[in-house]
Structure 1
Amino acid sequence: MFRPLMIAALIALPAVAGAQSAPVADTAGSGTPPQRVRAVTLGVGQKCPQSSDTEIVICSTLEQPYRIPKQFRDSGPIPAKNQAWGNRAATMDQVGRAAGGLPDTCSPVGTGGQSGCALATNRQWAAERRAKQDADASVP
């Protein structure tokens, strides 16, 4: 039962292979693949250069250097239910440290809670400084 099916498949195989190797109409007309792919970043008012039979040109602008649409970029903090379990565990650990008054937590509770207040103040200052630098860099 299996042998006649296998023989029929082997006889039909050259016909299928011949049909696949038939020439395919190429849109460029040359029938050869491009030799080079070039990515070009355009400034304001520049036009994308024309591609040829041997080259594909991909253009992007400086205003939108990412392929992700602007409305989906920087959407704010990720909700806890959509975060990896490692991030959630780290958050729970930090919350537990602050609630327990462990060292470097800046908590009024516990014996080592006060040692983290200077550290927390420094982190807040650095975050405000980074935010100000980012705001200054985004203003043209």
Structure 2
Amino acid sequence: MHRAALTPFAFLCLMVGAAGAHAQPDEVPAAAEPAEKIASLVVYGDDPCPRSSADEIVVCGREPESERYRVPKRFRGKKAEPAQESWSNTVRQLEWVSRAGTPNSCSPVGSGGATGCYRMFIDQARAERRQARQDAAGVP
């Protein structure tokens, strides 16, 4: 009688099938008592805190009246993300970045770069003269 040899793959399939046949489904635990409801509220100024009931606990935090209509502290002072920035600001930044080589850009690349450098020096000289006049006018 000739016995067929099991390949490693066939042996693995037999083992997985046997393990699955003996597996028990997870039992659902018995329904426990419902957890207590807890409401956490912020009240402003002299507003009353709602009363707790038999099935709900109410916890109140009090803030001054001046904070009622303000943006919450955790959101104040955050820098705007690119997705929240206006499109006109994005276009302005892209124009500034891609400006190299265009006329009045003060760039060594392109045909109009030298005119931009000359214009920048003129603007700087005018600003220095304006500041010197203001300083001289302020001296008694």
Pair in the same fold by TM > 0.5: no
Normalized per residue, which structure has more helix? 1
State which structure, 1 or 2, has the greater radius of gyration over its C-alpha atoms.
Answer: 2
Normalization by structure 1: what TM-score? 0.32
